[in-house]
Structure 1
Amino acid sequence: MARKLQRREVLKTTGIAGTAGLAGLAGCIGGGGGGGSSPDMITVVGYPEDGIQLFRDFYSSYGDDTDILIPDGLRDPDLPGQVGDDMSNITGTAPAAGGPAQSAYESLYQDVYGESPGVFSSQSYDSAAVGILANAAAGENSGTAIRDQMRNIANPDGMEVTPDNFVEGVEAAANGEPVNYQGASSSVNFDQNGDPASAAYALWEFDGDSTSTIRTENFAGANPEGSGPSADDMPGGMGREIMLGILLPETGALASTGESMINASRIPPQQVNESDIDLTVDTQLEDTETNSQSGVSAANSLVNAGYPYICGTASSGVNVPVCQEVLIPGEIVGCSPSSTALSVTNLDDNDYVFRTAPSDRLQGRVMAQVASEDLEAETCATLYINNDYGQQLSERFSSVFEDEFDGSVWRQVAFNQGESSYSSVVSDAMSAE
């Protein structure tokens, strides 16, 4: 416990970019300097379902003396109990609710569900809210028309819209008036790739049967002002039904994360349907099961039912095939709240694919900076799930850690889902260079 408290105090009083005061603490919070039989720290990229066995195998062989850095995919408060360890040697990073309307959204979620929102729930609220606003501005349930309004309702000057006045914003958009959505997760300015132009990241840790945020910092992407194609006008129109598809995991590896995301995505439709404006929102939820084949089938169900905009999906391993096989050829807008792989940015999508979650290009850099400046690691190995999300984040982290922070990545080790033991890959990652 002393180790965890010491790390907490160090990280709370140190900014990501300012660690001069840590010079004498390397031996306390890192493996210290390299040259030993194991790297100073390891980075693990994966999902809770496989993380349970992987961390059990890690702790049974190596205890908790090695720092471990993990991203959002493993932020599950139930994990320590399932692993059987307090996991006090772990530091996490995750896209955070750092938007202008963060407080308003958190109060709204608490009022509706009687609990605090979970990870990626703010991005889910924003995805649903943006889809409704763009549909209201388009005046029709057409994927192409909605696509052309996505930046009109998020990027430019206009009436500021937040969760507090969301219904008024929908009415204004339907009347063809300019609006500027200011979200819970970010300002929701979309860049030319449909990615957030800026994002907040939380540094967090496991804390008993929950996770606690150590601090949150904002980072801007390469194009913080946002840009990209958009329609010249907002046709709008009242007296109609807006259709919103929700494609998120109720079951599978991300079920624990998906529950809060689904809850959040249902709030904007509820706000409109409980108002007295002459618009309604029809929604349909489909379960991806955190599986690519199931995700494609579920996406087809929504498209066949006429939904022109989909809030989803959650994981990049599901989102990429859903986009390639269903959304892009069907000219349907998809806006993922948590699919972060770099491959999503690189899709040839004709501008139908958006995200309210930032790309792992940014998270990889944040993780490398935390590894070097907060954990003071000089050497590292990565363990990553064998899919686009795992491989690309591992590679991005490794390249930045070496090129910008003068670290050394001894090896990058892939692991497959559903294995009964991960002892061999853990051993590979912890082996001497």
Structure 2
Amino acid sequence: MHMSRGTRGAVMAVCATLLLATSACGDDQPEEATAHQVRLYGTDGNMSNSYAEELGDRANLVDGMKGTTPLTPLPEDFKKRLLSVDPKLDGFLYAAESYDAVVISALAAEVAGTTDPAAIAKQIVGVTNTGTRCGTVAQCLRLIREGKDIEYRSVSITRAGFTDVGEPATASYATLHFDGQQLNDAKTEFVGAGDESAASNKRPPRGDAASSPDAPLVIGGLLPRTGDLAIAYPPLAAGAALAIKEINAAGGVLGEEVVWVDGDDGTNPAIAKATVARHVDGGVHVIIGAGGSGISAAVLEDVVKAGRILFSPSNTAANLSEVDDRGLYFRTAPPDGLQGRALADVILRDGPQKIAIVARKDSYGEGLQSIVRAELERAGFGGDKVKLLGYQPGEDANAAPIDFSAGAKEIKDFGADAVLIIGFGESAAVVRALADADVPLAALANS
């Protein structure tokens, strides 16, 4: 779910409208398409320069591919600060969300006056709403220490704060375009989504400044250092590292420096559960992750039983909004109900006649597939115009490569002229299978 990014100074269009109309932003006219060409579309799990690298010597197959991702235009200063942490960083997606997840956790602990996870959890929604607005770690911590309520706004939390269930009320999405084997930033379009009125207006209980703080605050990572989402790790890790650095430079939390404990989710439930167990045994108060929605769903019960907080910067599955979390699960990434509209719009603007949607079989892939399908139905695409397919991702790095040859033949026989692929790095196998089945991809026609 990491998408590599370069500088976003050249922006084709910036839209301030909600995603309620039939067109997101830019030209409403369908792009010219040669007869029988099949266009590829992607989403946040695969719209990246790193995705092209997954295809190796067949990277040209992504030429012309388009897709969407949750993405806020990032200030140049923030990018420079990220690069000071990781000079090799070549992408920024979810770095802002990772940064904000760590910062919000720290601010909530300062307000609570303790490192007790239950007390911190009660303050997380509140620090993003109904207070004095602040935009830097140092400014927010100073206001809290002065006894003031705060309303945190930063790189990913911009227009509105969290809803009552602990997720963003509003979001920003980008439409991305592959030109050749690289994303062309000059074609990137941004559109806002969500409803500011959905932000919580509940005031949390005041923290007890006289209580025993049990500092230091210990935050643990549950990020995809390995596995199918490993391409997402660098910006996620950089965002968290930058947050810890700036929190401690501002005096830390409750008078002591915040401690970071690294941890891998492996894009694998078994690895993630083992990491959670180590964090619990090691006294971690807040766990940042997991990278994938399905991994968070798999470990949430363990986290809740242990009375810890799970705070993901990159979970987007819509069903996590209703999960039984006892108030201990939060996310800075917006739910896919918003992204589904943006994806459907991007596809429909090109005027397709038949659409195939291929998704990895987990809560992220199948959830987003269902949302896009519903949006296409609203646009008049009946069952004979849309085909749903799926693939089972490997359980670990040693799993056999995905065989999508049968699915590729189904798509060819169906006569689709648009294929949406919802997956992570492993979904490159779908692109290869389509080419091997002689599906007339637009990239091949233009080569």
With the shorter chain as reference, the TM-score category is 0.7 to 0.9
1:422 maps to 2:393: no
Q: Equivalents in 1 of 2:312, 2:267: separation in Å?
A: 13
Moved more, 418-427 or 351-360: 418-427
Q: Residue 180 of structure 1: CA displacement?
A: 1.4
1:201 maps to 2:173: yes
Check the 8 A contact 2:361/2:391 in 1, yes or no.
yes
1:96 maps to 2:71: yes
Q: Equivalents in 2 of 1:337, 1:218: separation in Å?
A: 18
Distance change >3 Å, CA 208–CA 81, structure 1 → 2: farther
Compute the TM-score of the two structures, normalised by the length of structure 1: 0.80
**SS at structure 2 position matched to 1:351:** coil
1:307 maps to 2:248: no
Q: Equivalents in 1 of 2:27, 2:143: separation in Å?
A: 50
1:70-85 mapped onto 2 (5 Å cutoff): 70-83=42-55, 84-85=58-59
**SS at structure 2 position matched to 1:287:** coil
Code of the residue aligned with 1:432 in structure 2: it is F
1:244 maps to 2:219: yes
1:231 maps to 2:231: no
1:215 maps to 2:226: no
Q: Residue 341 of structure 1: CA displacement?
A: 0.9
**SS at structure 2 position matched to 1:72:** coil
Moved more, 11-20 or 258-267: 11-20
Per-residue CA deviation, residues 146-202 of structure 1 (Å, 9 max, x unaligned), is 1111122111221x332xx31232243245321211121232611122221000001
Q: Please point out which of 2, 22, 26 is paired with 2:29.
A: 22
Check the 8 A contact 1:80/1:206 in 2, yes or no.
no
Distance change >3 Å, CA 391–CA 177, structure 1 → 2: same
1:334 maps to 2:310: yes
Distance change >3 Å, CA 415–CA 351, structure 1 → 2: same
Check the 8 A contact 1:273/1:280 in 2, yes or no.
yes
Q: Equivalents in 1 of 2:119, 2:14: separation in Å?
A: 47
Per-residue CA deviation, residues 260-281 of structure 1 (Å, 9 max, x unaligned), is 1011111111113234563310
Distance change >3 Å, CA 303–CA 175, structure 1 → 2: farther
Q: Please point out which of 353, 374, 378 is paired with 2:329.
A: 353
Check the 8 A contact 1:97/1:186 in 2, yes or no.
no
1:110 maps to 2:87: no
**SS at structure 1 position matched to 2:102:** helix
**SS at structure 2 position matched to 1:245:** strand
Code of the residue aligned with 1:301 in structure 2: it is R
Gaps of 5+ in 2: 1-10, 16-22, 395-400, 416-447
Check the 8 A contact 2:393/2:402 in 1, yes or no.
no
Per-residue CA deviation, residues 247-298 of structure 1 (Å, 9 max, x unaligned), is 1011111111112101111111111323456331011011011101111111
Q: Please point out which of 163, 179, 182 is paired with 1:191.
A: 163
Q: Equivalents in 2 of 1:332, 1:228: separation in Å?
A: 25
Moved more, 167-176 or 330-339: 167-176
Code of the residue aligned with 1:428 in structure 2: it is E
Check the 8 A contact 2:64/2:179 in 1, yes or no.
no
Moved more, 75-84 or 327-336: 75-84
Paired residue for 1:266? 241
Distance change >3 Å, CA 236–CA 121, structure 1 → 2: farther
1:156 maps to 2:130: yes
Code of the residue aligned with 1:300 in structure 2: it is A
Per-residue CA deviation, residues 127-164 of structure 1 (Å, 9 max, x unaligned), is 11111111111111111101111122111221x332xx
Per-residue CA deviation, residues 340-387 of structure 1 (Å, 9 max, x unaligned), is 1122112011221111001111111111111112x2224311111011
Code of the residue aligned with 1:270 in structure 2: it is K
Q: Residue 102 of structure 1: CA displacement?
A: 4.3
Q: Please point out which of 259, 273, 282 is paired with 2:259.
A: 282
**SS at structure 2 position matched to 1:149:** helix
Distance change >3 Å, CA 287–CA 347, structure 1 → 2: same
Q: Equivalents in 2 of 1:327, 1:345: separation in Å?
A: 17
Per-residue CA deviation, residues 86-144 of structure 1 (Å, 9 max, x unaligned), is 2123101000024xx74542232134333554211111111111111111111111111
Q: Residue 79 of structure 1: CA displacement?
A: 2.5
Distance change >3 Å, CA 88–CA 307, structure 1 → 2: same
RMSD: 2.6
Q: Report how many residues are paired.
A: 379
**SS at structure 1 position matched to 2:205:** coil
Q: Residue 210 of structure 1: CA displacement?
A: 4.1
Distance change >3 Å, CA 346–CA 93, structure 1 → 2: same
Q: Equivalents in 1 of 2:146, 2:392: separation in Å?
A: 51
Moved more, 72-81 or 247-256: 72-81
Moved more, 168-177 or 128-137: 168-177
Code of the residue aligned with 1:245 in structure 2: it is G
Check the 8 A contact 1:142/1:308 in 2, yes or no.
yes
